[in-house]
Chain A
Amino acid sequence: MYRYDEFDRDFVAARVAQFRDQVDRRLSGKLDEEKFKPLRLMNGVYLQLHAYMLRIAIPYGTLSSHQLRRLALIARRYDKGYGHFTTRQNIQFNWPALKDCPAILEELAEVDMHAIQTSGNCIRNVTADQFAGAAADEIEDPRPYAEILRQWSSLHPEYSYLPRKFKIAVNGASSDRAAIRVHDIGLQIVKNDKGEVGFTVYVGGGLGRTPLIGHKIRDFLPKRDLLAYANAILRIYNLEGRRDNKYKARIKVLVHEKGAQALREEIEAEFTKYRDATLTLPEAEIDRIRAYFAPPALPGRGPAPHYEKRKATDPAFTRFVAQNVVAHKVPGYGIVTIALKPIGGIPGDASAEEMDGIANLAAEFSYGEIRVSHEQNLVLPHVAQADLPAVYDGLTALGLATANVGLITDIISCPGLDYCALATARSIPIAQRISERFGERALEREIGELKINISGCINACGHHHVGHIGILGLEKSGTEAYQMTLGGSADESCSVGTLTGPGFSSEEIVDAVETVVNTYLKLRKDSSEDFLSAYRRVGMAPFKESLYGQG
């Protein structure tokens, strides 16, 4: 894992001291809200419906046990005993007092964490595949590059006041688990014909009120040019991105209005002009950063008789392994996804004791590493097969052994109107009701892979556009109404879902989801054809007919 050096520590400590002074001046009346608001936002402090909310950066979703324990401590000491993991691999606390925020930032700084780049029109926390460094299908670990981008972009003076926020994701495997095509810049690590590793670059993806899929603007970018090319993209965007209308200010709108080819030519020209200036990455520097992410030395563990015996005798354990564990690049090890989606629970929420419990399991069985996925789950990336029974038992004790990863109850949901000042409808209660309708039944496994994403407003923090079933909560004549989209996907086959038709009331929406599911079960070729494949084969018509009749 990356560890702060002296520069990082000084930089973050100075930032905390600066914010403490700003909060003191605000509370004593020396600073008014108009001046203070952008300062608190630059430190991750939002004002939501009921209280302040502190969003803490978890760069590329990687946490140590030590850091997760500190988050648990913050939850207990400064909040209401829980936190919410977000679709940008961050964590949010929903109830901190403003006066406590500097102390919380000090707690974070002690474990190499902060809340910078979690708000404002800057380059936000860089995200990556949650299985990075462990995945069997990985070309190269994306985190060193995400870290290089983080170091370059943190408080970058030229990019601290962009037209709008700017999100970058890096994926290092053949499967896209980082949703790169719906980011402002998506970087896919690839190997070219010469065996060199570099990036395919996508630009102009994004969700929100204008969902657009990123355009490929470069097939292969050498690693050494990562920053020079990112700089060229950012510079063009900073100059040409619209500042007159915040709803048209993201780079996706610039790409859409100007055309990907025209923008590509501009970016390439800018890149060529400055390619060999100061931003070329020396191989030695890449190696220095990469060394922080060296995988743990995983010893061969030999046969695992307890594991085999447990599989033979415990169907629940077998289901957990089949659903929540995937192959590790080292034989004899697995990657365990801990679904923060207990049936009827709140997607992404974890209590302080759950965080402590998971931190302890990671310390004992996963070399002290935890990952946060954009699907709001946690991951133990390096678990020996022989240790899976113990991990499963530990998770069972925590109430977190739900075997539903990728299934219909593994729902992405934003906080919605229960917390968020921007929301127009509640999303968590809808997620809970869907979970209760389908969860813990053989039907859930029969349905197979099906991703439901729910947003409580058009800003789409719940990524509803790229859910196989997407649900968007709106306010209509004073009541909550929910639109449904079908066919979205955030993976390498990225697509934006299509609206089914008129929306549904809060009472109707779960039945509508069931209607869609039943329609799928009737029309699929067999159980090997998952929902998305079936939808792409047959299109919207049969689902529309089931939902609205032939009228």
Chain B
Amino acid sequence: MPKIISANRLADGRVVYVGRDGDWSEIFAKAKVFANEAAADPALSKTRDDVNAGLIVDPNLVEVVEEASGMRAATLREAIRAAGPTIDFLARKPIFDNALVTRLETGNGPETVAVKRREDFRSPARIRTPAIISS
């Protein structure tokens, strides 16, 4: 089965892939595809240099499936690693104006903060099913 190489970036833990240009990329679609494990092994060994250089941790091979429409992670776990959580977590955007945030953080904010209703800043729960091969 085709493989790509993934790791987590040391500084912030974000998921990264060895790209077609040889650099680490956060974008799954830019990952370089190796025909099989044997073909990927030399490149995987080379990532030890990046581990030693403090760029990444836990480099490993990830199974993918190539289709006409593009490449897909073969497992749900890797699909979620690639695309992020399948749920809409809370408050993705700041809901206070920055001045108010500063006042709150410095302890000079109002005692009672006017808050928006949860519905105002959060879309209804949407559960996405990442594209995976399930068989």
Contact = CB atoms under 8 A, between A and B. Distances in A.
A48 B51 CA distance: 18
B46 interface: no
Interface string A46-86: 01111110000000000000000100110011001110000
Contact of A360 (B86, B111, B122): B111
B89 to A, nearest CB: 6
A77 B105 contact: yes
A360 B90 contact: no
B113 A50 contact: no
A356 B87 CA distance: 23
B58 A47 contact: yes
Contacts of B92: 80-81
A398 B117 contact: yes
A327 interface: no
Contacts of B117: 397-399
Given A345-B125, A353-B116, A356-B113, A52 B13 contact: yes
A433 B12 CA distance: 32
A49 B119 contact: no
Contacts of A28: 54
Nearest to B95: A353
Interface string A360-400: 10011000000000000000000000000000000001111
Contacts of B105: 73, 76-77
B115 A478 contact: no
A49 B91 contact: no
A350 B90 contact: yes
Contacts of B53: 29
Interface in B1-53: 8, 10-15, 51-53
A398 B118 contact: yes
A88 B81 CA distance: 26
B90 A81 contact: yes
A429 B86 CA distance: 8
B57 A351 contact: no
A240 interface: no
Contact of A49 (B80, B95, B96, B122): B80
A418 interface: yes
A114 to B, nearest CB: 20
Contact of B13 (A48, A346, A363): A48
A408 interface: no
A381 B46 CA distance: 57
Nearest to A100: B12
A51 B12 contact: yes
Interface residues of B, number: 51
Given A50-B81, A81-B94, A346-B90, A98 B104 contact: no
A417 B85 CA distance: 8
A398 B116 CA distance: 7
A40 to B, nearest CB: 11
B125 to A, nearest CB: 4
Tier of interface size on chain A:
35 or more
A273 interface: no
A426 interface: yes
- B contact face: mostly helix, strand, loop, or mixed: loop
A168 to B, nearest CB: 30
Contacts of B52: 29, 32
A345 B91 CA distance: 12
A356 B127 contact: no
Contacts of B112: 360, 364
A418 B79 CA distance: 10
A278 interface: no
Most buried by A among B13, B57, B74, B112: B13
Interface string B64-100: 0000000000111100110011110111111110000
A355 to B, nearest CB: 10
B13 A349 contact: no
A398 B74 CA distance: 40
Nearest to A99: B11
A350 B115 CA distance: 13
B113 A346 contact: no
B17 to A, nearest CB: 13
A185 interface: no
A98 to B, nearest CB: 6
A353 B12 contact: no
Contacts of A344: 124-125
Given A26-B54, A356-B104, A429-B127, A349 B90 contact: yes
Contacts of A98: 10-13
Interface in A505-540: none
Given A69-B104, A429-B86, A399 B118 contact: yes
B101 interface: yes
B131 interface: no
A497 interface: no
A478 B72 CA distance: 14
A479 B134 contact: yes
Contact of A82 (B13, B57, B89): B89
B135 interface: yes
Interface in A144-199: none
29 contacts: A27-B10, A29-B54, A49-B80, A50-B84, A52-B12, A52-B13, A72-B104, A73-B105, A76-B94, A97-B11, A98-B10, A98-B12, A344-B125, A346-B90, A351-B91, A353-B113, A353-B115, A354-B90, A354-B115, A356-B104, A356-B113, A360-B112, A363-B111, A364-B112, A399-B118, A399-B119, A418-B86, A478-B76, A478-B132
Q: Which 9 A-B pairs have the closest CB atoms?
A: A399-B118, A97-B12, A81-B91, A418-B85, A351-B91, A52-B13, A51-B13, A344-B125, A82-B90
Given A32-B52, A351-B91, A353-B96, 5 more contacts: A29-B52, A77-B105, A351-B122, A357-B113, A417-B80
